[in-house]
Every structure is written in C-alpha cells, then in structure tokens.
Amino acid sequence: MSTPQPLSYRQLFWQVMHRDLKVAVHNKGDILNPLIFLVIVITLFPLGIGPETNLLTRIAPGIIWVAALLSALLSLERLFKNDHSDGSLEQMLLSPQPLFIMVLAKISAHWLLTGLPIILIAPLLALMLHMEPLAYPALMITLALGTPVLSLIGAIGVALTVGLKKGGVLLSLLILPLYIPILIFATAAIEAAALNMPYSGHIAIISALLVLALTLSPFAVSAALRVSTN
C-alpha cells in the first residue's frame, strides 16, 4: 500500500478555498445578506439626513466605513459555525496538514465573498453620498487594504466563540475594539485626501496592520480553534 504524497501548502490552500467557495455558492443568501445590509444602511442615510450635499460630503467616509465594518461583523459568524456544527472542523483539526494554511484559506474565501463585493460597490455608494471626487482613490485603497484586516482579525474572535451557543454579542465585544484603529486611520486617510492633503502615512499604517494581521492571525486562529473545541 503506497502512502500518498502530502499536499503542498499551495495545493492545500486552493483545495480548502475552493471547497469554501463552492459551499458558499450554494448558500447565496449568506453572501448577499451582508452586502444588501451595507447598501440599505448607506441608502438610508441621505434619506434620513435630508438632501444637504455639504453635510453628506462631510460624513461620507465615516458612513461607508462604519457600514463596511458592521457588514463584516454580520458575515463573520459564518466563517467557522457551519464547519463546527457538521463536524468538518474536527476533521481539519485532526489533519496532519498544517492548520494555519487551512485557516488562511478559509479567511481568504471569506474575504472574497464579503470584502471584495464591498470594494466593488463602494464607488457607487460614494457617489450616492456626494463624496468629494478627490477622495475616491483613497476610499478604494483603504477598503482594499482594510477589509482583509477585518476578516483576519474577525476570524480570531469567531474561532474563540465558535464553541458557544450564543456567541454573537461576545463576538462583537471582542472584535469591535480591535476594529477601531482601522476605522480611524481609514476615515482619516479619506478625509485628508478630500482636502487634497497627503495621506500616505495613514495608508502605511493600514498596510502595517494588514501585514501584522496576515502573518499572526492564522496562528492565533489555529490556537483558538483548538481551545474552543476542547
């Protein structure tokens, strides 16, 4: 009986991500829900505040980012919940393959399904909020760098609460404080851009957070998963 070759890290990554995407395609509601939430929140703001373009222009970066943050939070729980309840998480923990690769693949799939759509739809929403045209590049850059951080940090919280029956509130309490730096620097960058001031410093800090989250969070998530299945 020949022992099969172990998968390379890249193969393993693709296998897990491919599987997660396939599962997600079957639950279309799960993908669309956070996005629809985002769109609804942002369309309601101009209606609630009234057609004062100056005010909307002023608060547009904050609205878009807060909505993105909340919609990320809304979609997070799905990351490990189903795998935990049907036992496939156990199988991943018992695999001889490195867990952090699988975790990274799952987080990447989650970002592709929730973060990427937000980035794609953001210009349209910004238009609706009369955002300063100068600020568009900054909005796109901060979202592109920031939404992966939301998924990566959020995954730690989900991993810690996956064993709990009602972990929803706890998850928000754990995660939201960690989201604050991203929110502050992202909106500051967009506001700076709107005033035609340099914003590369803010971007550098968000990039640093991304690198930090990308390298450390898969390990933290792996450790947290082992603890919460205990």
Where on the chain is the footprint of another protein (CB under 8 A)?
A: 1-4, 6-7, 12, 15, 19, 22-23, 26-27, 82, 85-88, 90-97, 229-230
Handedness of CA 98, 108, 32, 150 (dihedral sign): positive
Closest to another protein by CB, 23 or 178: 23
Closest to another protein by CB, 10 or 26: 26
CA angle 144, 69, 10 (to 5 degrees): 50
CA–CA separation, 149 vs 73, rounded Å?
A: 12
Closest to another protein by CB, 7 or 144: 7
Least distance CB 161 / another protein (angstroms): 17
Closest to another protein by CB, 8 or 200: 8
Least distance CB 120 / another protein (angstroms): 24
CA angle 98, 158, 42 (to 5 degrees): 125
Least distance CB 88 / another protein (angstroms): 4
Least distance CB 6 / another protein (angstroms): 5
* DSSP output for 20-80: HHHHHHH-HHHHHHHHHHHHHHHHHHHHHH-S-HHHHHHHHHHHHHHHHHHHHHHHHTHHH
Least distance CB 114 / another protein (angstroms): 18
CA–CA separation, 41 vs 35, rounded Å?
A: 10
- On whether the CB atoms of residues 70 and 35 are closer than 8 A, the answer is no
Closest to another protein by CB, 84 or 202: 84
The phi-psi region of residue 196 (left if phi > 0; otherwise alpha if psi is between -120 and 50; otherwise beta) is: left
Handedness of CA 73, 216, 65, 114 (dihedral sign): negative
Closest to another protein by CB, 16 or 107: 16
Residues in the chain: 230
Least distance CB 128 / another protein (angstroms): 34
